[in-house]
Amino acid sequence: MKLWGGRFTKETNQLVHNFNASLSFDQKFFEEDINGSIAHVTMLAKQGILSETDKESIITGLKGICEDIKSGRLLIDEEHEDIHSFVEAHLIERIGEAGKRLHTGRSRNDQVALDMKLYTRKEVLEMDSLLKNLLSSLLKIMKENTDTIMPGFTHLQKAQPITLAHHMGAYFEMFKRDRSRLHDIYERMNYCPLGSGALAGTTYPLDREYSASLLDFYGPTLNSMDSVSDRDYLIEFSSAMSIIMMHLSRFCEEIIIWNTNEYQFIEIDDSYSTGSSIMPQKKNPDIAELVRGKTGRVYGSLISLLTTMKGLSLAYNKDMQEDKEFVFDAIDTTKGCIVLFHGMLDTLTFCKDKMRASAEGGFTNATDAADYLVNHGVPFRDAHGIIGQLVLYCIDKNISLGEMTLEEYQAISPVFKEDIYDAISMETCVSKRNTIGAPGQEAMKKVISVYEKYLSE
């Protein structure tokens, strides 16, 4: 059934129909479309715009359609232009005259704005809970590894010793911010466009507050032109998803590096690895690579949507139909990546000995050796120079700072005493760093308890 056609004298060209149609993708929100319609007719009846009998039969009809689509008894065929026409046509087929009253005081413009909002709102919450689950796993790893020493890097060069808990904590912060972005989006988007009509509201005495409350919105939107043409929340959501993907991608990059033969900091579980068709020895981190790879796709959705919107005059323009495929794809991709990444993280093994050994090499305690001199009265700039010389000496001898004899130390500076070894041990380097946010166990325990409280809320 077409929702229009009265003023036309010719049939639509088939290619035009196909090009114009959105049913192949907007069927994704058939349930939201039906729930929105149920709220709409409930409000119409309360306002005396629709009779109680018509309301009842429309609601029964709509619920039947919903169940039949879910159970597969009613197939969504391509004959209709979009999900709105599909549902309305089937309603009229099922209940007759009353079905023709469903669209009173409504346009597809406010209808689609509502459907997309309802769908997105649900997905924002779903994504938030997936991130929360991921954070629980991260916190578990943190709690178990406040003493697991590993090298921290800058420029991908070993820099200073840290702990695995500290490294995981960095990602905890990122995903925590991602959740708070989702919460912000929810707060801003949760206003109901239903009742805005095509662009200028309607002449019927609609109760927009009431339909908004039926659908759990904070209230109605306040400008009908903006209501039918606002896609900001989709851009914000795409942006938030892009940032989530960027975080996952950075984490994946580290997992890929840690999983190499050269590092061997971790072992990805067999169930989350893949093999090579030619090289029998290979065990590849495909999942991490794919998550990293799919990041570009989600960025693409953000840029596409921004570009689609940038030249649009008010109010609704058909260009806006292009919002759906991008956003649906970005949502499915991001959710899939969070779930897969989470599974990979939960099953991987941390090779703590390898991490520890790696931290010992690369002079990660050089800063602490300089601090030792400073604590004994040497100015920092001089201390920096002295330790630089020691490092050169060690490189030449192929030893670490901890392997130098006291005589060797004292040959360079008499300030060094026996306690230098303790001062530059990995344990000391980590445990002395106790400013909040640092890897020291004391600081880390405080942060962990903040995280515990955060996750229990």
Options 24, 129, 276, 449, the catalytic residue: 276
With CB under 6 A as the contact rule, which of the stretches 280-288, 314-322, 349-357, 373-381 interacts with ligand ARG? 314-322
Return the number of the residue (21 or 378) whose C-beta is nearest ligand ARG: 21
Select from 436, 414, 427 the least CA-distant residue to 364.
427
Name the segment binding ligand ARG (CB under 6 A); options: 290-298, 315-323, 356-364, 376-384. Answer: 315-323
Q: Considering the rule CB under 6 A, would residue 22 count as an interface residue with ligand ARG?
A: yes
Q: Which residues pair with 266 in a beta bridge?
A: 350
Segment near ligand ARG (CB under 6 A), from 175-183, 188-196, 317-325, 447-455?
317-325
* In the complex, minimum distance from the CB of residue 165 to ligand ARG, in angstroms, rounded to a whole number: 47
Query: Active site residue: 155, 271, 277, 313, which one?
Result: 155
Residue 22 or 365: which CB sits closer to ligand ARG? 22
User: Based on CB atoms, which residue is closest to ligand ARG, 256 or 327?
Assistant: 327
For residues 261 and 189, what is the distance between their CA atoms, to the nearest angstrom?
A: 47
Active site residue 276: yes
Considering only residues 254 to 313 of the shown chain, the ones binding ligand ARG according to CB under 6 A are none
Site for ligand ARG in 81-140 (CB under 6 A): 82, 108-109, 112
Of 232-240, 258-266, 318-326, 395-403, the window that binds ligand ARG (rule: CB under 6 A) is 318-326
Active site residue 107: no
Tokens coding 445: 């325990």
Size of site (CB under 6 A) for ligand ARG: 10
To ligand ARG, the closest distance from the beta carbon of 88 in angstroms equals 12
State the minimum distance, in angstroms, from the CB of residue 143 to ligand ARG.
47
- For ligand ARG, which is the closer residue by CB, 318 or 381? 318
Residues 36-65 that bind ligand ARG (CB under 6 A): none
Angstrom CA distances, 35 to 13, 150, 194, 238, 348, stand at 32, 53, 12, 25, 42
Q: Which residue's Cβ has the minimum distance to ligand ARG?
A: 321
Q: Report cis status (omega within 30 of 0) of the bond before 383.
A: no
Q: Catalytic site residues?
A: 155, 276
* Binding residues for ligand ARG (CB under 6 A): 22, 26, 82, 108-109, 112, 316, 318, 320-321
